[in-house]
Structure 1
């Protein structure tokens, strides 16, 4: 894929096009030159965080050692997928 940076409004427009049934996932991937996994990530972030989840972060977040440990233990003990853990702990 071409690796074009998309603004939050562009990501939102693509997601809405799919949600409204104007285009399918496969067609969106081809039309916009994005991967299925990128599109899935955008959709998941939008579902969880809303429009804010589509915005690019300007800095990395820092997390306490306790939160990191809890996330790792949750992953190891719950059987959840890594993306479910990432979404849960933001």
Structure 2
């Protein structure tokens, strides 16, 4: 299991590195960090996202986004860290977990959340659904699947164009919400 390091330690190590007194390997040894690659990753994340990038915060990503990231990484040959920086992911190791889930044939592993599942009131509603309602629900799910496959194909054909298009949509949506 991966060792957890405090946010303060991460920031301390990065700042010590920036002072230039010690290199990456000596810093790792000084602070009891298992490998220099961990320190290198912290430095890259700090350079891209600042101190906020080193803080431990839970962020969830959609299955679509996870698949897009893995597809991009496979196509470009980027490392987990390079891919994470490209997509704005502050914790590059999470990409390895997604990749492992796919390689082990656990595609549904991309959609699993840790912890206890929420209590669902829908179980009773599912039993009470009419045949017509069940068919409508199935149609809705199939439409979503088709839409997902279309987006995946568009991304695979022109990843830069696809990302640019969606980056523009995101920025325009965030401007609207701040008005």
Q: Which runs of 5+ in 2 are unaligned?
A: 90-179
Counterpart in 1 of 2:49?
A: 49
Task: Give me the TM-score of the superposition, normalised by structure 2.
Answer: 0.42
Aligned residues: 85
Tell me which protein shows more helix as a share of its residues: 2
Higher RCO structure (Cα 8 Å, ≥6 apart): 1
C-alpha spacing 1:78/1:9, structure 2 compared with 1 (3 Å): same
- Greater CA radius of gyration, 1 or 2? 2
Counterpart in 1 of 2:96?
A: none
Q: Does 1:22 align with 2:21?
A: yes
Task: Give me the TM-score of the superposition, normalised by structure 1.
Answer: 0.75
Counterpart in 2 of 1:13?
A: 12
Q: Aligned partners of 1:79 and 1:12: how far apart in 2?
A: 29
Aligned-CA RMSD value: 1.9
